[in-house]
């Protein structure tokens, strides 16, 4: 009998459990109403007197051990559960971390900056809330000039001198006022026009302005710069400069790139011509240089401006300009592996 009790003492010491259920089963087995200890205490009466002491000590030891075991197991299971609650399952494989995506407008803007920076252009910026001088007057668009209607303007409050810039050409003026030639700068930024919103037009969009002023800068320099840009940006090797009019340049031109006519999409986006307009350009009007404190007798230069949304729509085949502003994550996520 004593041997049996000792065997159980060993068993209890060796017992391991990591669930509440297993501990409870163990408790019932030893300490339950019909448990082993009850049997041993009942058997105590039958034990011969000279063995009672040793047997009594043994079963008491077994009882204490079983109680201690149960308490310590319960504690360790509870702390395991707590840890699991706080940290989750620590052995689980990790979730991949969701990285954000750069907005397509930023991607394209950065690409444009990168291409021009390779040929020595720096980046300049100006305010989105402009005054009349920088947005219009200095650019050869005096008050009541009909060309002001080319760009429907948002005025702030009732002050006609405070407006949201309608183009980044305003930064040209600021840059020329503050820096003297040689000038090579591009100015990316947000512009605003009071236009009806559609798939092709928005009241907020982005432009990149370019300005190059030095001695003896020619129209050919401009064409070569724009050709280099189109090759680097689109991988297209043919451009066309179509005569146009802008008050701040003379002569002025519209920049078309030859997109090709291989696919149905080429037909659609070039309206069957193969040519695609990406912006305007021209030789900076001498009056504009004078307005900005640069002597047009000594210097000449060219300027250009292009729409960033336009270029992003071309590069990524995006059919509706409004997508850039809706910020639908299903749209934005598609750019997560672009730089
Ligand atoms: N500012 C013109 C626009 O928003 C674009 C432009 C045309 C900019 C010719 C220029 C330029 O610098 O020379 O439509």
219-261 tens-digit pLDDT: 999 999 999 999 999 998 899 999 999 999 999 999 999 988 9
Q: Which residues contact 265 (CB under 8 A, 6 or more apart)?
A: 317
**Å from CA of 38 to ligand 1 middle:** 99
Contact partners, residue 255, CB within 8 Å, separation at least 6? 226, 239, 240, 241, 277, 278, 279, 280, 281, 304, 306
* Ligand 1 atom with the shortest distance to the CA of 169: 1
We report the CATH number of the domain holding residue 276 as 3.30.930.10
Decide: helix, strand or coil at residue 20.
helix
Measured in Å, residue 3 CA sits from the centre of ligand 1 at 102
Mutate to test the pocket of ligand 1, among 116, 141, 148, 167 (most ligand atoms within 8 A of CB): 167
Average pLDDT over residues 125-129: 97
CB-neighbour burial class of residue 12 (10 A; exposed 0-12, middle 13-18, buried 19+):
buried
**Same domain, yes or no: 36 and 175:** no
Q: Are residues 175 and 271 in the same domain?
A: yes
In a domain, 184, yes or no: yes
204/327 same-domain check: yes
pLDDT of 89 strictly over 80: no
Give the H or E element holding residue 331. helix 329-332
- The residue with tokens 């920088």 is 134
Q: What is the mean pLDDT of residues 50-69?
A: 89
Kindly state the average pLDDT of the residues 11-16: 90
Closest by CA to 135, choosing from 69, 143, 313, is 143
Provide the domain count of the chain. Answer: 2
Q: What is the largest CA-CA distance in the chain?
A: 130
pLDDT at 265 over 90: no
Cα of 280 vs centre of ligand 1, distance in Å, is 5
Atom 7 of ligand 1, nearest CA residue: 280
Q: Which of 87, 114, 136 is the last residue of a domain?
A: 87
Pick the residue whose CA is nearest to atom 4 on ligand 1: 167
How many angstroms separate the CA atoms of 104 and 54, rounded?
Answer: 85
One domain, residues 265 and 216: yes
Which tokens go with 226?
A: 């724009």
From the CA of 307, give the closest atom in ligand 1: 4
Note whether 80 and 118 are same-domain residues.
no
- Taking only the tens place, the pLDDT of each residue in 141-197 is 988 888 787 778 998 877 878 999 999 999 999 999 999 999 999 999 999 999 899
Give DSSP secondary structure letters for 205-257: EEEEEEEEEETT--HHHHHHHHHHHHHHHH----EEEEEEEETTEEEEEEEEE
The reply to whether 181 and 269 lie within a common domain is yes
Residues 207, 271: Cα–Cα separation, whole Å: 23
Q: How many whole angstroms separate alpha carbon 129 and alpha carbon 161? A: 10
Query: Is the residue at 267 inside a domain?
Result: yes
Q: Please tell me which residue, 304 or 95, carries the higher pLDDT value.
A: 304
Tens digits of per-residue pLDDT, 266-277? 888 788 998 988
Tell me whether residue 314 is in a domain.
yes
The answer, yes or no, to whether residue 36 has pLDDT greater than 70, is yes
Per-residue pLDDT band at 330 (split at 50, 70, 90):
very high
Locate 2 and state its tokens.
């004593």
Say which range, 64-78, 88-102, 198-212, has the weakest mean pLDDT: 88-102
Last residue of a domain, one of 87, 115, 141: 87
My answer on whether 123 and 227 are in the same domain is: yes
From 278, 81, 300, select the one nearest 176 (Cα to Cα).
300
Q: Which of 304, 307, 311 to mutate to test the pocket of ligand 1 (most atoms within 8 A of CB)?
A: 304
Tell me, yes or no, whether 236 lies in a domain: yes
Mean pLDDT of 41-67: 88
The answer on 273 and 159 residing in a single domain is: yes
* DSSP letter assigned to residue 259: -
> Which protein residue has the closest C-alpha to ligand 1 atom 2?
305
- In a domain, residue 113? The reply is yes
**95 domain residue, yes or no:** no
Q: Using DSSP, state whether 280 is helix, strand or coil.
A: strand
On whether the CB atoms of residues 184 and 320 are closer than 8 A, the answer is no
Which of the four pLDDT bands, split at 50, 70 and 90, describes residue 339?
Answer: low
Tell me the C-alpha distance between 128 and 124, whole Å: 13
The residue with tokens 């980046």 is 123
60, 87, 114 - which closes a domain: 87
pLDDT bin (cut points 50, 70, 90) of residue 307 is very high
Instruction: Name the residue at shortest CA distance from atom 10 of ligand 1.
Output: 304
Please tell me whether residues 52 and 177 are part of one structural domain. no
The pLDDT, as a whole number, for residue 41 is: 87
Tell me the CA–centroid distance for residue 285 and ligand 1, in Å: 12
Selection from 332, 322, 327, 317 nearest residue 203 by Cα:
322
The average pLDDT across 51-57 equals 88
Statement to judge: residues 10 and 148 lie in one domain: no
**Residues in the ligand 1 pocket, defined by CB under 6 Å:** 167, 169, 209, 246, 249, 280-282, 303-305
Q: Are strands 204-214 and 239-246 parallel, antiparallel or unpaired?
A: unpaired
For residues 151 and 119, state if they share a domain: yes
* Mean pLDDT across 3-10: 88
Side-chain-facing half-sphere of 180: CA atoms under 13 Å: 4
Q: How far is the CA of 303 from the centre of ligand 1 (A)?
A: 7
Q: Tell me whether residue 97 is in a domain.
A: no
Determine the structural domain holding residue 21 and report its residue range. Answer: 2-87
Averaged pLDDT score across all residues of the chain: 91
Whether residues 253 and 122 share a domain: the answer is: yes
Predicted TM-score (pTM) of the model is 0.72
Instruction: Tell me what pLDDT residue 166 has.
Output: 95
Q: What is each CA distance from 176 to 24, 42, 50, 68, in whole angstroms?
A: 85, 107, 115, 86
Identify whether 212 is part of a domain: yes
């Amino acid at each position: 009998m004593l041997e049996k009790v000792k065997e159980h003492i060993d068993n209890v010491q060796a017992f391991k459990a990591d669930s509440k259920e297993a501990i409870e089963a163990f408790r019932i087995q030893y300490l339950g109403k019909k448990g082993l200890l009850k049997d041993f205490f009942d058997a105590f009466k039958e034990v011969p007197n000279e063995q009672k002491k040793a047997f009594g000590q043994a079963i008491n030891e077994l009882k204490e051990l079983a109680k201690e075991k149960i308490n310590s197991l319960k504690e360790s299971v509870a702390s395991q559960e707590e840890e699991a609650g706080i940290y989750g399952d620590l052995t689980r494989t990790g979730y991949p971390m969701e990285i954000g995506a750069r907005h397509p407008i930023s991607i394209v803007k950065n690409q444009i900056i990168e291409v021009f920076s390779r040929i020595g252009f720096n980046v300049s910026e100006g305010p989105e809330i402009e005054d009349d001088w920088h947005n219009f007057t200095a650019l050869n668009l005096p008050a009541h000039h009909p060309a002001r209607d080319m760009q429907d303007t948002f005025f702030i409050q009732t002050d006609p001198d405070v407006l949201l810039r309608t183009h980044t050409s305003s930064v040209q003026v600021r840059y020329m006022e503050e820096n003297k030639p040689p000038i090579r700068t591009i100015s990316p930024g947000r512009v605003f026009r009071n236009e009806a919103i559609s798939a092709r037009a928005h009241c907020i969009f982005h432009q990149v302005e370019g300005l190059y002023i030095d001695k003896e800068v020619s129209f050919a320099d401009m064409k070569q710069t724009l050709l280099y840009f189109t090759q680097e940006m689109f991988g297209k090797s043919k451009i066309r400069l179509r005569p146009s009019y802008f008050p701040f340049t003379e002569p002025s031109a519209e920049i078309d790139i030859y997109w090709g006519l291989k696919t149905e999409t080429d037909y659609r986006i070039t309206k069957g011509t193969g040519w695609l307009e990406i912006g305007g350009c021209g030789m900076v009007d001498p009056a504009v240089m004078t307005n900005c404190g640069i002597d047009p007798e000594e210097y000449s230069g060219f300027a250009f401006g292009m729409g960033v949304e336009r270029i992003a729509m071309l590069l990524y085949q995006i059919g509706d300009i409004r997508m850039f502003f809706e910020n639908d994550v299903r749209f934005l996520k598609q750019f997560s592996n672009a730089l």
